Amino acid sequence: MNEFATIGELARGLRQGDYSSVELIRHYLARIDANSTLNTFITVAEDEALNAAASADQAFERGEAGPLTGIPLAHKDIFCTQGIATTCGSRILENWIAPYDATVVDRLAHAGAVLLGKTNMDEFAMGSSNENSYFGAALNPWDSSRVPGGSSGGSAAAVAAGLTPVATGTDTGGSIRQPAAFCGVAGIKPTYGRVSRYGMAAFASSLDQAGVFGHDAQDLAVVLSIMSGFDPRDSTSSDRADSWLTGVSESGLKPNDEGLTIGLPSEYFKDLNEGATLLQAAAKEFENAGCRLTQISLPHTDAAIPAYYIIAGAEASTNLARYDGVHFGYRCENPKSLEDLYQRSRSEGFGIEVKRRILTGTYALSVGYFDAYYLKAQKLRRLIQQDFLSAFEEVDLILAPTTPGVAFHTGDLTDDPVAMYQQDIFTIPASLAGLPALSLPCGFTGGLPIGMQLIGPHFSERRLLETSALYQQNTDWHQRHPEVA
């Protein structure tokens, strides 16, 4: 069995009877176990997975298999899973078991997918390295002295190491694209509103969006076609036609050879540390395939990080008020009063970065500072969005680096939060604008993967994925894999 098989290949193997779903799931569970030092999973749901696989095998026998029947996947530990712990990488939710499934979890389970377990993440999705996980950081399978990126680092590293063919993630300011780039896999963050946030623990509600990691564009399309769509339980869920990817698992994505105009934003290339030549080669690849390249400008790019860290912190400070030691989650021992219970439960339950965001966010929202910080950040957000909307009058897609460099070493940035925040410079702008964006591996430097980012207009996921399919048809970066146990 190919350790890095796509779900298309696995579905074929299952249909042809090359292996049963139970055999397939046992194989992946064994790989997860053999690579446990990578710390990619917080919870491995072995019994549940084997039961679900047995049901999948019965569905095959009855001739009732759906597009994902028997296919393994992993969920970031931010999605509620009924009966299986959901920790959000935090002590405050250690051992918490959700009483219901997130819409994303529910839809994928209904399509027959088998949940292997819940992947490691920065606490409440705040971070760019996985080092903020209460359960210890996941490691990068290309070099275990380096971070896998964050916050969805466990999912990206698990896919890269072949511990699951696909995994979900969430992206508020880059948490799918940045770890995808650091781990050499593909990852897409859809348009804000495309995927339901119901049952996905909230960090910054106006930015949070669920997406998926995999090896190729086709796998992303298949999983996204199932997890996306209108959900009345999420008030910001879009009711824009749900049929945008109908049939993609049967017919396959058509590589887009329409000769698109692709914009290269000058602001994204000026600070590039590593990988500039690889990105130029990727751009050339598109040119060879008939696309037209043009320089563009996104002049407010520099405002993105400060605006994001005000807005995301402000929203986090209110969203995380619910973890009070009373309703659910960790509670301190022997509280002396109600106030003592709140104070110590939160002090003991949250990690340093989460506290930093709650404090700065509360500050930015407080009387006297609201106008100077929060309101100003919202105005900047609008300008950043306007930059993109103007650019999309000229170009079909934007090609940019995903990160300023390759995966950094564990511990390198932990003492310098601002340097850590700066890692998100190329991913945050699209998040603030609510745009769909994806990262694909486009080469290696010093044995470490580099990612390229494609950003499209709102609801242009199909075009993004088809353009990615075109690139992957002509290159083989996505077929390189790290050596793991």
Which residues contact ligand GLN by CB under 6 A? 125-128, 151, 171-175, 203, 312, 424
Q: What is the rounded (10 degree) CA torsion for 16, 20, 21, 24? A: -100
Cis upstream peptide for 366 (omega within 30°)? no
DSSP 97: B
| Nearest to ligand GLN of 113, 413 (CB atom) | 413
Of 207, 204, 224, whose CA–CA distance to 438 is shortest? Answer: 224
Of 384, 397, 383, 390, whose CA–CA distance to 294 is shortest? Answer: 397
Residue 152 Cβ, how far from ligand GLN at the closest point, in Å?
7
Residue 277 contacts by C-beta under 8 Å, 6 or more apart in sequence?
none
Write down the catalytic residue from 90, 133, 155, 175: 175
Write down the catalytic residue from 20, 21, 76, 237: 76
Residue 27 sits at the vertex; the CA angle it makes with 251 and 41, to the nearest 5 degrees, is 90
| Nearest to ligand GLN of 173, 434 (CB atom) | 173
Residue 324 contacts by C-beta under 8 Å, 6 or more apart in sequence?
342, 345, 346
| Nearest to ligand GLN of 174, 255 (CB atom) | 174
From residue 301, how far is each of 265, 266, 308, 429 by CA, in Å? Answer: 10, 10, 11, 7
Residue 372 Cβ, how far from ligand GLN at the closest point, in Å?
21
Tell me the two tokens of residue 463. Answer: 């075009």
Residue 94 Cβ, how far from ligand GLN at the closest point, in Å?
20
Of 160, 18, 6, 150, whose CA–CA distance to 72 is shortest? Answer: 6
Sheet holding 72-76, edge to edge: 41-44, 114-119, 72-76, 167-171, 209-214, 186-189, 437-445, 448-455, 397-401, 261-265, 292-296
| Nearest to ligand GLN of 113, 181 (CB atom) | 181
* 76 catalytically annotated: yes
Write down the catalytic residue from 128, 129, 133, 151: 151
Count CA within 13 A, CB hemisphere, residue 258. 12
| Nearest to ligand GLN of 39, 178 (CB atom) | 178
| Nearest to ligand GLN of 227, 312 (CB atom) | 312
Q: Are 349 and 134 in contact (CB under 8 A)?
A: no
| Nearest to ligand GLN of 28, 203 (CB atom) | 203
Written as one letter, the residue type at 4 is F
Residue 190 Cβ, how far from ligand GLN at the closest point, in Å?
13
Of 432, 421, 190, 455, whose CA–CA distance to 300 is shortest? Answer: 432
State the residue number with the nearest CB to ligand GLN. Answer: 175
Residue 357 Cβ, how far from ligand GLN at the closest point, in Å?
8
Residue 427 Cβ, how far from ligand GLN at the closest point, in Å?
7
Residue 203 Cβ, how far from ligand GLN at the closest point, in Å?
6
Strands (E), 123-242: 167-171, 186-189, 209-214
Could you give the residue numbers annotated as active site? 76, 151, 175
